[in-house]
Structures are given as C-alpha cells and as structure tokens.
Amino acid sequence: MATCGQSCPRRFGLVKLDVKTKSCSGVEFSTSGSSNTDTGKVTGTLETKYKWCEYGLTFTEKWNTDNTLGTEIAIEDQICQGLKLTFDTTFSPNTGKKSGKIKSSYKRECINLGCDVDFDFAGPAIHGSAVFGYEGWLAGYQMTFDSAKSKLTRNNFAVGYRTGDFQLHTNVNDGTEFGGSIYQKVCEDLDTSVNLAWTSGTNCTRFGIAAKYQLDPTASISAKVNNSSLIGVGYTQTLRPGVKLTLSALVDGKSINAGGHKLGLALELEA
C-alpha cells in the first residue's frame, strides 16, 4: 500500500535525539529520546539488533520508558526465497500485560503478500495484505478480521501507477474514506506532491501540497500547506557523515498572532 509525500518533516513540537552505533561483533544499538514541548512528556527507547546472516536470522530486543520489553525474532529467505517469518512479543512488568504476534511476508518481483496474527485471549486478529504490480501499475488490498467478533474490521483497496519520476495513488478505506495523491520529481533537485482526502457523510475535504528542494548534497528544505491553513517548513543538514540535523516549524495561518505555533528539532547520530 503505497505512501506518498512523506519526505516532509513531521517532528513538530518535538526535541528529538537519535543515536545509532554498531559494535565490532556486529551488534547494532539504536537509542532515541524525545521531549514533547506541548505536554512536557519525555520518552526514550533502546533497541539492540544482531543479525546471523549465515542462517538468515535477526534477533531484536527493545525497551522504552513506559517500561515495556519487546523481543523479535525474524528468519528470512531460508524456507524459500522471498519469505520472511517474524515472531514478536511484548511484556510490561508493571501491568503484567503480554502480547504476541506472528508476521509473515512473501515478496517477489511483481507480488507482495503479508499475513499477521495478533494473539489475544478474547480471540486473535488476522491482518492480511496483498499488492500486485504489472508494468508500473499497482493494485493492493488490506483487511483485518476480528475472530472474537467474527467480522471484518478493516477493508481497504488501493490502485496506483508508478514511473521513474511520477507516482499516482488512490485508495478507498472501509468504503467511507476516499483518498488520492500525486508525486512528481520535477527535476533532479525538486520533488512535489499533492494529497486529497474525503470522508463520506461529511462535507469535509482535506487537501495538501508539499515540496522538497535539495540545496546541495548535504542540505535540503521542505514545505507543506493544507486547506486548514497549517504551514509546515523544514530544513535538514548533514553536518558530517553520520550526523544529521533537522529543524522544523508548523504555523497556523488562521491565527498567526494568537500563538500556538510549533517548533521541532531532531539530531541523528550514526556510527
């Protein structure tokens, strides 16, 4: 299910720090911390990942400041080429809450299939998706079946067309939400996108445009505006290899003098 126009920054109202490192033994460490300037809430995550390439295995351990522990084991391209199986579990020591999920995906040149099963004491939920491609055309379907209620809780369709510098995507979610987006690479340094959405039974139509311009190999600026008069701008600079800084702002065009605008800052470190 294609996603378009996601290159514009979404770190409004946050101060964020991401750090990624890798040990000599091949263990990858990822840490992330953020502070929400609106609520004052500070969150953090820690993730370790080890890949056993000989057997196609990946082991991942996760922890966050909500004191939730997660373990993920994935095996890829071993049973057959293109097949990936993932076993994902989480546990919260404070509440005793546990969850488990089995994910499967199969990818080839013109097909991408997925099936996930969320385990719950009331009854598992089954998530399925399929995307088919032919000569630039894409067709996708996504569903969720709640076995406890014995009914479909999600039923989404999407159709798209993609070339080297142009993408068109339309979708219908649950028969009530309709959307479409167009992405075009105008030139080597400039990307643009337009997004439309409408919900049946309402007169509310959502519209937005976005653009990203590459100033030089290390810096880019991006901007977006929607029909709610929300204007977002961002600047990303690679300070040195492995160090990236992003600054962003969101301005409410309807009440410029009233305040409530948001600023964001993110620093990414990778070694």
CA–CA gap between residue 22 and residue 11 (Å, rounded): 26
The mean pLDDT of 208-224, rounded to a whole number, is 96
Question: Which range (191-195, 204-208, 217-221, 255-259) has the least confidence?
Answer: 255-259
pLDDT tens digits for 175-191?
Answer: 899 999 999 999 999 99
pLDDT of 11: 56
What rounded mean pLDDT belongs to the chain? 90
What are the DSSP calls for 147-189, one per residue?
Answer: TTTTEEEEEEEEEEEE-SSEEEEEEEETTTEEEEEEEEEEETT
**Average pLDDT over every residue of 9-14:** 60
**∠ CA 125-128-133, rounded to 5°:** 170
The pLDDT of residue 26 is above 60: yes
Q: What is the pLDDT of residues 131-146, one digit of tens each?
A: 999 999 999 999 999 9
Sign of the C-alpha dihedral computed for residues 12, 16, 22 and 28 taken in this order? negative
Alpha carbons 8 and 41: distance in angstroms, whole number: 24
Strands 243-252 and 230-240: antiparallel
- Report all structural domains of the chain as residue ranges with CATH numbers, in order of start: 14-270 (2.40.160.10)
Q: Is the pLDDT of residue 4 over 80?
A: no
